[in-house]
Structure 1
Amino acid sequence: MVEYQKELKGLAEKILGLMFRSLGLTQEDIAWFKPKYGCKSPQGVLQLNSYPVCPDPNRAMGLAPHTDSSLLTSLYQGNTSGLQVYRDNVGWVPVHPVSGALVVIVGDLMQITCNGRFKSALHRALVNNTRHRISTAYFYGPPQDVKISPSVKLTDHDHPILYRPVTWREYLDAKATHFNKAIELIRYDASSC
């Protein structure tokens, strides 16, 4: 498990680097991304999920609709379907497992960091009546006490700052209390921008 986490951490850092570069951001723009001068390392959490066979899947939910609090989540689905992502004007769309592949999910902290250019993905997990489903999720985030806020390079007159600074710890506390409304609680009022 330690080696698996190490590999997923490296993958998350590569993907984040590519995402930041696609927005024109450098390492200097996201100071906490590659720790300097003794800064704590970014945080990673591995979660194992088990969804037993359910005789009546229409009366049970594996995991309720939610967004992840992290920057990125890497999800291994195994070979049993159950993950669905919500798309506006479409509804719930299944994300079928692909052998040997991971699903990468943008989290709330990435939405904050990039000032809404990337959106966190609303998703859920369904149970089924034929197969036990197991998945592993790796949540990658910044150090818990580092303030996360939109990069100044991604704001201007046409793109005002959308979110106030927040630590991952503060955000997790807000999420625990307000669930999927947490991101709206740290959003600036559009009229004040």
Structure 2
Amino acid sequence: MDDLPPNVKVSKWLPQQSVLAHPNVRVFITQGGLQSFNEAAYYGVPLLGIPFFGDQHHNVAKMVDAGIGIELKFWDVTRDSISDAIRRLTEDKRFNENMKQFSAVYREHKEESLPKAMWWIEYVLRHNGAPHLRSAARDLTWYQYLLLDVIAFALAVVVCFCISLYCIVRFLISKLLQFKKLKTS
């Protein structure tokens, strides 16, 4: 691309966390993936979300609800819509303030892995194996665990519905044919 302004860099790959950590980054345009959402939250960068599929719609909706970003539907993407969204994100200080607060809450939960693992091991030892944390799935039979009983019930309902529908349609067709025969004779 020859006509790029000097403040725009194009590359096949960029280290996303390093870019987000840069103090001059004002807005992060993302598809709304969870990793990108987490990284932007960590570095406190407001978001412009353009979701495509999967969990992206949910993540972008969460970001909009939290007041830390704006959603733009893919089919609504134009030069003007992106420009307007970026302008709104940079000029409305609420997005930046909300994201700084969101980032502070997000960073608050940072913890080292080894001390956390040691705490949980000691917790389980202190509470005789911690049976209160045991999964209820351990008490289910194999067919309940695999939901075969639920699947069988749903299948039975569908089969009963189909048989009933077949019988009703067959009955109505026979009555229609009888009516037609009476009318023609």
> Is the structural similarity TM-score above 0.5?
no
When the two structures are superposed, what TM-score results if normalisation uses the length of structure 1? 0.24
Calculate the TM-score normalised by the size of structure 2: 0.25
Q: With CA pairs under 8 Å and 6+ residues apart, which has the higher RCO, 1 or 2? A: 1
Greater Rg by CA: 2
Greater per-residue helix proportion? 2
